[in-house]
Chain A
Amino acid sequence: MSATTAPGAGAAGEYGDVKTDPVSNWADERLGIYKGSKNLIRKVFPDHWSFLLGEIALFSFILILLSGVFLTLWFNPSMGEVEYHGSYLPLDGVSMSQAYASTLNISFDVRAGLLMRQVHHWAALIFLMAIMVHMLRIFFTGAFRKPREINWLIGFTLMVLGLLEGFAGYSLPDDLLSGTGLRIASGVILSIPIVGTYVSYFLFGGNFPGHDFIPRLFTIHVLLIPALIVGLVTAHLILVFVQKHTQWAGPGKTNDNVVGLPLLPVYTAKAGGFMFVIFGVVFLLAGLVQINPIWAYGPYTPDQISAGSQPDWYIGFLEGSLRMMPNWEWNIWGHTLSFNVLIPSLVVPGILFTALAVWPFLEQWITGDKREHHILDRPRNRPSRTAIGVGGITFYGVLWLAGGNDLIATHFHLSVEALTWTFRVLIFLGPALAYWCTKRIALGLQRRDKDKVLHGRETGIIKVSLEGEFTEVHEPLSAGERYRLTAHEVQKPLELGPATDENGVERPGNRALKLRAKASKAMFSDHVETTVEEYKEIEAGHGHH
């Protein structure tokens, strides 16, 4: 290339015949945007409502960030005491922390402040709900399978961070409800063996509640956790792009392709539109439905409490777990072990969350399936996984209900004690029952699918034969529908070979293998299979009529 080319003349030459605009060229020469985006612009996304649940979480998070920035402009995270003299009359002259006073100021004296507070809180509730619903969708459709296990873990971490972030936000205004939540948290920390007392004194800067905790929590709430969430969300989305979205089985949709509509223009418009729809719904909520009326709770004082003190819904399962627990406490060698606090607040969520995090790896170990999966499972076609999921939901649901036992009692005229005992039984019985029922229902639905494939769709038309026999006319399924209903694999239990090889030497890792076979048997013994042979036999039979 000649060094004497006139400025500007080179551009047209470098980009050949393609018409480009100078601004993009400028950017491309510095960032390589053309080659960077060539596979992104028309990237295909499959269409299904359930694929949009994660977007609800993403877009509500954007709204949380925006409204949160607004709130920080006025919020004063200090536990220093002031006497309130703002426009909320019933608290006039009351002594309170600056955190609470500034939250009152935002609610009553800053225009749009109440709106933004309500946007922030409603969006937070929606954010966590969307994360959980999205996670359930991933679980029940098997979208966590290879190659997406890492993204499952990232999503799981995001959920845990979301819970912490939500609880931190709930605690910041220093109203009676949030202070009560912190009081409970401090009690839980105190119960941790050996280090509990020290951890509590370090976190709170001394006795509870002290003067340090809210400023510390503020930094965690507006800086540390949001930064982690933003980073992990970015990684989560990059992986979705790189690994391409999963899709449902259907005509033309296989494990080796992705069928859908292009990012530009369709998904840009649809996802962008959905973002604004979510913004719209949250703003309407914030204008019409009150959330967390901190002025009604009053400032936090450790000797005050309100009946019906509850956390936000996503912490409700821990509250229920604490309420339900029998009062076991041990004193051993001069030390106190508070099982009544430790088990419900640390052990139960620990087990629940660990199970959730390792599920993809556990399932893969049981099935031994190391292939990539891009076609989603219909929940019915994986009866055991679905049943385990519903069992888990039931477990969580019972904890959740127990967290509101006092409100259930007053609204349905029941006794709190009887309700608590019911939940104590249900926490064991409920998941087992849910597992059994779900598995039966899933297998039943599979049989119905099988029936449809083999005998066709019921038309509702009744035919009378010459002999006077009534039969319903069945219409054969289309080839596409038949494919859709049979495209899944039928997982069968693992068959173990002989425990020893031909030389009588025990197989290495035999015990783990036996355990695996047992799990596999429990999960996959019941199955429904529709074979080509069965279909052909019936087709041949039809010919005789």
Chain B
Amino acid sequence: MNTLSARRRHPLAAFVVLFLALGVIGATYATLGSSSAKASASVAATPEQLVEGQKLFQSSCSSCHNMNGQGVQGSGPSLIGVGAAAVDFQVGTGRMPAMQIGPQVTSKPPIFTQDQIDAMAAYIGALGAGPDIPDPSLYNGDPNDAASVSNGGVLFRTNCSQCHNVAGAGGALTDGKFAPSLRETSTKHIYEAMLTGPQNMPIFNDNVMSPQDKKDIIAYLVQTRTGSNPGGLDLGSIGPVSEGLFVWTIVLGLLIVFACWIGAHTTKASRARVAHFEATTGKDASDND
């Protein structure tokens, strides 16, 4: 007892208490909360990270998600139980903090460093059990492994291409929302998006789509990024619309230029040249063919 009360005033004591409290809340959510996500509470989080994460959260996120992350009706959802992966995705792709209200929050250059993002992720991860930031071995598939890539392709076309397009170019959703392009998205963020279902994207949890399946999908996407346009310029990979547009603008224009060249009269000799010709040869220029 004494030792405990003596250390009560230790500079880190408050954080240890906080850590424990968060742990309890998290454990409660883990048992009561969603039955599927076999996520572990942030294992690697250090107390320093939690302190830093809480500080950053309170200064940058709490206006919408409330001081303790339980959400504000109408402006930001509760973050308890969303997991570290969701934070890493949302903040890492620059979607959070959201700058303006629109049909959906779009990605932009992230405003935090990866260390800061990790700290926030650790803090939110500790609020309640949710998917953790995946280990690189989970998402870095081998783009040269034929079996993995072709399985990923089938899965991508079955589960993802309806929104993101077969080439990962993105597509329209309802009311101005859209599925973003996957061309530039990092493999980690793709994995986290499947795991956490950001905004209107559905969740593809590990029971519905195994971690290996997710890894295969990523391998497929990486493979097609590097070798998908053997035929030449890909015109944005948005299918026949851009091909039609190309034909009706550039190709038609080019062919009409040729047609004008063929149809137009050849430039006539200047009057001075005609006069010179007639003076030197004594022939009628218009009869000379």
Contact = CB atoms under 8 A, between A and B. Distances in A.
Touching chains A and B, CB distance < 8 Å? yes
Interface of A: 47-53, 56, 89-94, 107-108, 114, 118, 122, 125-126, 129-130, 133, 176-177, 270, 273-274, 277-278, 281, 285-293, 296-298, 301, 303-314, 316, 403-407, 409-410, 413-418
Given A290-B231, A305-B161, A52 B263 contact: yes
Contact of B149 (A50, A89, A177): A89
Contacts of B169: 308
Contact of B162 (A177, A305, A410): A305
Given A129-B248, A296-B166, A414-B176, A290 B157 contact: no
B239 A52 contact: no
A130 B238 CA distance: 24
Contact of A278 (B175, B239, B255, B260): B255
A314 B163 CA distance: 25
A108 B254 CA distance: 30
Nearest to B172: A406
Contacts of A133: 252
Nearest to B163: A307
Contact of B262 (A52, A90, A297): A52
Contacts of B247: 122, 125-126, 129, 313
A376 to B, nearest CB: 14
Contacts of B228: 293, 296
Given A289-B246, A313-B240, A415 B175 contact: yes
A303 B178 CA distance: 21
30 contacts: A48-B263, A49-B259, A53-B259, A56-B255, A89-B146, A90-B223, A126-B251, A130-B255, A133-B252, A277-B258, A281-B251, A281-B254, A290-B230, A290-B234, A291-B243, A293-B237, A298-B153, A305-B161, A306-B165, A307-B161, A307-B170, A307-B171, A308-B171, A313-B241, A313-B245, A403-B241, A410-B171, A415-B103, A415-B176, A417-B174
Contacts of A312: 240, 243-244
B40 interface: no
Interface in B117-157: 144, 146-147, 149-150, 152-154, 157
Contacts of B153: 90-91, 94, 298
Contacts of A286: 231-232
Given A281-B254, A310-B241, A304 B259 contact: no
Nearest to B173: A416
B235 A289 contact: yes
Contacts of B256: 49
B65 interface: no
Contacts of B244: 125, 312-314, 316
B150 A92 contact: yes
Given A298-B166, A307-B163, A309-B239, 12 more contacts: A49-B259, A89-B146, A89-B149, A90-B153, A92-B146, A94-B153, A94-B154, A118-B231, A125-B247, A129-B247, A289-B231, A301-B158
B172 A407 contact: yes
Contacts of A404: 241
Nearest to B234: A290
- Between A49, A176, A274, the greatest number of chain B beta carbons within 10 A of the residue's beta carbon is seen for A49
B233 interface: yes
Nearest to B223: A90
B176 A413 contact: yes
A47 B161 contact: no
A277 B252 CA distance: 13
A298 B146 contact: no
Contacts of A125: 243-244, 247, 251
Interface string B173-194: 1111011000000000000000
Contacts of A311: 240
Interface of B: 103, 144, 146-147, 149-150, 152-154, 157-158, 161-167, 169-176, 178-179, 220, 223-224, 228-235, 237-241, 243-248, 251-252, 254-256, 258-260, 262-265
A114 B231 contact: yes
Contacts of B241: 308, 310, 313, 316, 403-404, 407
A409 B154 CA distance: 28
Nearest to A285: B251
Contacts of B232: 118, 286-290
A314 B244 CA distance: 8
A153 B224 CA distance: 47
Contacts of A306: 157, 161-162, 165-166, 171, 239
Count chain A CB atoms within 10 A of each CB in B178, B247, B264, B265 and give the residue with the most. Answer: B247
Given A49-B256, A126-B247, A307 B231 contact: no
A417 B175 contact: yes
Nearest to A128: B247
Contacts of A94: 150, 153-154
Given A90-B223, A307-B171, A407-B172, A274 B258 contact: yes
A301 B159 CA distance: 13
Contacts of B173: 416
Contacts of A417: 174-175
A311 B153 CA distance: 22
A281 B247 CA distance: 11
B166 to A, nearest CB: 4
6 cross-chain pairs, A with B, having the tightest CB-CB distances, nearest first: A307-B171, A313-B244, A290-B231, A415-B176, A49-B263, A406-B172
A114 B166 contact: no
B240 A52 contact: no
A257 to B, nearest CB: 19
B74 to A, nearest CB: 21
* Max chain B Cβ within 10 angstroms of own Cβ: one of A133, A270, A289, A416: A289
Contacts of A47: 263-265
A410 B166 contact: no
Q: Which of A122, A287, A404 has the most CB of B within 10 A?
A: A404
A307 B165 contact: yes
> Which of B179, B246, B264 has the most A CB atoms < 10 Å from its CB?
B246
A309 B164 CA distance: 11
B286 to A, nearest CB: 15
Given A56-B255, A407-B172, A410-B171, A114 B230 contact: yes
B63 to A, nearest CB: 26
A410 B259 CA distance: 36
A188 to B, nearest CB: 18
A313 B220 CA distance: 29
Contacts of B234: 290, 293
A313 B245 CA distance: 8
Contact of B172 (A274, A296, A297, A307): A307
Contacts of A108: 230
Given A307-B161, A311-B240, A290 B172 contact: no
A129 B149 contact: no
A183 B166 CA distance: 18
B243 A273 contact: no
Contacts of A303: 158
Q: Counting chain A CB atoms within 10 Å of each CB, which of B169, B176, B220, B239 scores highest?
A: B239
- Most chain B beta-carbon neighbours within 10 Å: one of A56, A91, A286, A313: A313
A91 B148 CA distance: 10
Nearest to B154: A94
B264 A49 contact: yes
Contacts of B175: 415-417
A100 B173 CA distance: 30
Nearest to B263: A49
B134 to A, nearest CB: 23
